[in-house]
Structure 1
Amino acid sequence: MTVDALGQFVAYCKKIQPQTQEDIKRFFEGVVGFPYDKELLLQAYLFLNIKDLFPTCAELLLFEKSPIADYTDLGKCDFVYLTHDNKLFLIETKFIDTEATGATERKRRNKHRNKVFEQVMTLKSRFSEYWDIQLNELECGVFTTDSEVDWRGLDVNVTTRSISIDKLEKWRINYHRHW
């Protein structure tokens, strides 16, 4: 990626998401304290543990925003990070209910597994076209509550991480206790 393209993108991010990393951290800590949404709790875990989950990520540039100007119809990305080697890392999250049973739930889980990969790959492609960034300068990740996705990223060059719902809840309780 040219320094110009990266600089333009970072400037765009700071304009549409001007909060500091500390402001964002406080927001996510508030989510941990009052978890009203399971997907948001998963995202809080990701943000607060980013160095362990995706070590190349250095700075959050966008959260739940469209990386393509005001075109939210083209999709918004859960997280866009700047990496230590000045690449961009797109991460999609998905809370997948692994505790529900039955054929309908298995079908729903599989649909969610497929969708989260489809989302991140589509965003990577659109992102590359819109910002004129080479595909090899865009990394992708998926973070879910379903370990079944862990092997799925290998064929499509997507880094996958997961945490069980049980471990997520234990983490929330312990984090909140030390907060």
Structure 2
Amino acid sequence: MEEMLFFYAMRINAVTRTRGKYLMTADALGQFVAYCKKIQPQTQQDIKKFFEGVVGFPYDKELLLQAYLFLNITDLFPTCAELLLFEKSPIADYTDLGKCDFVYLTSYKKLFLIETKFIDTEATGATERKRRNKHRNKVFEQVITLKSRFSEYWDIKLEELECGVFTTDPEIDWRGNGVNVVTKSVSIEKLEKWRQNYNYMNNI
């Protein structure tokens, strides 16, 4: 599966060299940002309040991981400057093609797609090991596929799109090498300690 992902990423990069000749223009970026504001009008402060609520009442592990990402974005992915979309399709009117967990505007005026996955690294047994490996492969497949579809729909060169993966499994950290995916992780233990400290420091 890892070889397939590598091949797929390399094929996309090869296609990029023969596709559109134009970098992402200010107009193209403006159109996409306008689309984002239309389907997700909440302010950055509104989104922060939502994620702080998740930290206070962590009813979903995946959402808690996403809250950690949003509230620590500058440490994890330093170029990410503004959240444009959360759990929305970056491809207008085509939600069946998949939602992206996070789409950020970077400080370099590029777009950064991030997929997250809470992977249970504490469970034991052969079945759990197979499930973990499936989740590792799936999250990379998702972000690479979204990047390709995003590029085709919005007519944006792949070089103008960055992508990343964020999970609770440090085993994925090396997998982004060679497929142009930035990989970051936080352990389940550290995630829980952060949640407790964040609640204490912010009186949640």
Give the shorter-chain TM-score range.
over 0.9
TM-score by length of 1: 0.99
**Letter of the 2:56 counterpart:** G
- Which residue is equivalent to 2:163? 140
How far apart, in 1, do the equivalents of 2:142 and 2:28 lie? 23
Q: How does 1:61-72 map to 2 (within 5 A)?
A: 61-72=84-95
Deviation of 1:71 after TM superposition, in Å, equals 1.1
Partner residue in 1 for 2:58: 35
Write the distance in 1 (CA, Å) between the matches of 2:51 and 2:81: 17
Deviation, 1:178, is: 1.0
Gaps of 5+ in 2: 1-23
Equivalent runs, 1:47-86 vs 2, <5 Å? 47-86=70-109
5+ residue gaps, structure 1, are none
Q: Which residue of 2 aligns with 1:100?
A: 123
What amino acid does structure 2 have at the position aligned with 1:169? Answer: E
* Matched residue type, 1:157: N
**Pairwise CA RMSD:** 0.4
SS at 1:156's partner residue?
Answer: coil
Please state whether the residue corresponding to 1:90 is helix, strand or coil: strand
Query: Which string of whole-angstrom CA distances, capped at 9 and with x for unpartnered residues, describes residues 28-72 of structure 1?
Result: 000000000000000000000000000000000000000001211
Give distance in 2, aligned partners of 1:79 and 1:124. 12
Larger radius of gyration between Structure 1 and Structure 2: 2
Q: Provide the C-alpha distance between the structure 2 equivalents of 1:72 and 1:10, rounded to a whole number of angstroms.
A: 18
2:182 alignment counterpart: 159
How many pairs align? 179
CA separation in 2, counterparts of 1:131 and 1:150? 29
